[in-house]
Amino acid sequence: MARHEVVSDRLHDRGPVVRIRLSPCAAARRAMKRQGQKAAPSIQVDALLDTGSSRSILREGLMEKLGIFPVGMVKMRTALKEQVSSHEFLLDVQLGKIKFGAVFIGAPMPDSDVQALIGRDILAHCKFTYRGKAKKFTLEF
């Protein structure tokens, strides 16, 4: 089982935040190559592990930095109970030494220092342990 542990003095204030690297999925990179386009470099973002979110979300506008196109459209309800339509994007994700593919929704996010939310769609595939007194949390895939 692959394990990623974070120790943070800001855990109580900021929540469980991880630094992830995002890049276009392999199929998108092949399509870009066939069209003569250079694949965009991967980007690093801070992502909040959000057990209250059913889906993983990437701040709207970051997909353009990756040069990728949506793979679908989804209707979702925001935390304020508003229904919005948003694009879905298939991305390769790297968390430390752990790599996996995931679908992210491009959506507006409140001003904060995180650019993504890792929702239950990804958390369902791992064990998430939050140890507040020790100021650490662990993800095991």
Answer yes or no: is pLDDT of 78 > 80: no
d(CA 18, CA 118): 9
Structure tokens at 88: 């879905």
10 Å CB burial of residue 77 (0-12, 13-18, 19+) is exposed
User: Hey, where are the domains in the chain?
Assistant: 3-140
d(CA 108, CA 128): 26
Answer yes or no: is pLDDT of 97 > 70: yes
10 Å CB burial of residue 108 (0-12, 13-18, 19+) is exposed
Summarised one tens digit per residue, pLDDT across range 11-48 is 999 999 999 999 988 888 888 889 888 877 899 999 99
Out of 1.20.140.10, 2.40.70.10, 1.10.150.120, 2.60.120.330, select the CATH number for domain 3-140.
Answer: 2.40.70.10
pLDDT of residue 110: 81
Residue with tokens 């935390």: 79
The residues with which 106 forms a beta bridge, in sequence order, are 58, 87
Summarised one tens digit per residue, pLDDT across range 79-95 is 666 788 899 999 999 99
pLDDT of residue 109: 86
pLDDT of residue 84: 83
